[in-house]
Amino acid sequence: MILSPETDVCSMTAFHSLPLFVSLSLQDQHGARSQRSQEADKPHRRQGEKTYSCDECGKDFTRTESLKRHQLIHSGVKPYSCDECGKDFTQAGSLKAHQLIHSGVKPYSCDECGKYFTEAGHLKRHQLIHSGVKPYSCDLCGKSFTRAESLKTHQLIHSGFKPYSCDLCGKSFTRADSLKTHQLIHSGVKPYSCDLCGKSFTLARGLKAHQLIHSGFKPYSCDECGKDFSRGGDLKKHQLIDSRVKPYSCYLCGKSFTRAKNLKTHQLIHSGVKPYSCDLCGKSVTYREGLKKTPTHPQCS
């Protein structure tokens, strides 16, 4: 029943005409009913429902403060800087998490492989690798990934978009971190050395792959000839040789090659570039192999 203004005034007058304690009690009840009515009129929001969206990227959030914090990413403002390396961050929490890297503290370890992590989130993400579950698949090549962001990064390969270029050699990369890793090659720094043979490597993973040679462990076998390999990449290269498929062809002379690297080396012949020269006689050659020792010039190397 909807009360008219006159009825509402009468009801309030009736409150005041009653004894004080009865009047106050009735007013409280009336106020509670009114508040419940207002709450009922509000749009009902279920727990966990993401009703706040970012205008920039469309990402949804359950709380306004989460959306507000997220929007700082798009603003480009990074007021929190690391004293150790100068890296900047949008949020104080991100800086704090980053600083654990410099501290060397890695309190989270994987029960499967023993690898340590600075953050619980990183450990959780790593553990997906051991689960073997790869729910994200590329529509173009069928390759599967554990994480959605890994699939997204992979798809850039198919797009052919390589926005990151090396200032020294011009090689382009899909990702900034790939360029950064590549630039270590030009630095000449090889901080990872093999304890057994002394060979040095630019990256830790290069050393790790190399150490398999000394272990004698060759888990990758060729189905055609039975030859075993320490690394999957070596098996793949070998299989191309067996298949006799040579997908890389020189557009100048038509010669074909099994590997892109071999084609690139071959193309030096047509360019006329001879980057390798003998320190003693000054002779220049296209390939390093051309500087082999000979009986007439034994010191040429």
Model confidence at 34: pLDDT above 50: no
Cβ-in-10-Å burial (0-12, 13-18, 19+) of 144 comes to middle
Mean pLDDT, the chain, integer? 77
Model confidence at 7: pLDDT above 60: no
Lookup: tokens for 1:
């029943």
pLDDT in tens, 262-272: 888 888 888 88
Q: What pLDDT was estimated at residue 8? A: 46
- Between the alpha carbon of residue 287 and those of residues 116, 188, 251, 262, the distances in Å are 44, 20, 20, 12
* DSSP state string for 196-211: TT--EESSHHHHHHHH
Which one of 131, 161, 181 terminates a domain? 131
- How confident is residue 298, by pLDDT bands cut at 50, 70 and 90? low
Lookup: tokens for 186:
């030009």
pLDDT in tens, 283-294: 887 777 766 654
Asked whether residue 200 is assigned to any structural domain, the reply reads no
Q: What pLDDT was estimated at residue 291? A: 66
Model confidence at 68: pLDDT above 60: yes
> Which residues does 231 contact at the CB level (< 8 Å), separation at least 6?
209, 212, 220
Asked whether residue 207 is assigned to any structural domain, the reply reads no
* 187 vs 174: CA distance, rounded Å: 21
Model confidence at 165: pLDDT above 80: yes
Q: What pLDDT was estimated at residue 241? A: 75
| CA end-to-end distance (rounded Å), the chain | 104
pLDDT top residue among 87 and 44: 87
What are 81's strand-pairing partners? 88
Buried b (16+ CB within 10 A) or exposed e, 116-143: ebbeeeebeebbeeeeeeeebeeeeeee
Model confidence at 81: pLDDT above 70: yes
- How confident is residue 195, by pLDDT bands cut at 50, 70 and 90? very high
What total number of domains does the chain contain? 2
- How confident is residue 38, by pLDDT bands cut at 50, 70 and 90? very low
Q: For residue 213, how far is the Cα from the chain centroid?
A: 29
Which one of 105, 131, 157 terminates a domain? 131
Lookup: tokens for 16:
């005041």
pLDDT in tens, 127-139: 888 888 888 999 9
CB distance 101 to 117 below 8 Å = no
> Which residues does 295 contact at the CB level (< 8 Å), separation at least 6?
none
Return the ∠ at Cα 266 (arms to 260 and 272), rounded to 5°. 140
- How confident is residue 32, by pLDDT bands cut at 50, 70 and 90? very low
> Which residues does 175 contact at the CB level (< 8 Å), separation at least 6?
153, 156, 164
Model confidence at 53: pLDDT above 90: no
Which one of 131, 162, 178 terminates a domain? 131
What are 137's strand-pairing partners? 144
pLDDT top residue among 116 and 10: 116
* 78 vs 88: CA distance, rounded Å: 6
Question: Which residue has tokens 């190399």?
Answer: 210
Asked whether residue 226 is assigned to any structural domain, the reply reads no
Asked whether residue 279 is assigned to any structural domain, the reply reads yes
Lookup: tokens for 45:
């929001």
Model confidence at 11: pLDDT above 60: no
* 296 vs 301: CA distance, rounded Å: 12
Asked whether residue 63 is assigned to any structural domain, the reply reads yes
pLDDT in tens, 201-257: 988 888 888 888 888 888 888 888 888 888 888 888 888 777 777 888 888 898 888
Asked whether residue 161 is assigned to any structural domain, the reply reads no
pLDDT top residue among 11 and 229: 229
Indicate the SS3 state at residue 278. Answer: coil
Q: What pLDDT was estimated at residue 197? A: 93
- How confident is residue 296, by pLDDT bands cut at 50, 70 and 90? low
Percent of the chain with pLDDT strictly greater than 90: 3
List the CATH number of the domain containing 263.
Answer: 3.30.160.60
Asked whether residue 141 is assigned to any structural domain, the reply reads no
Domain span at residue 81 reads 55-131
Asked whether residue 91 is assigned to any structural domain, the reply reads yes
Q: What pLDDT was estimated at residue 300? A: 55
What's at 134, amino acid-wise?
K
* DSSP state string for 211-257: HHHHHT---EE-TTT--EESSHHHHHHHHHHHHT---EE-TTT--EE
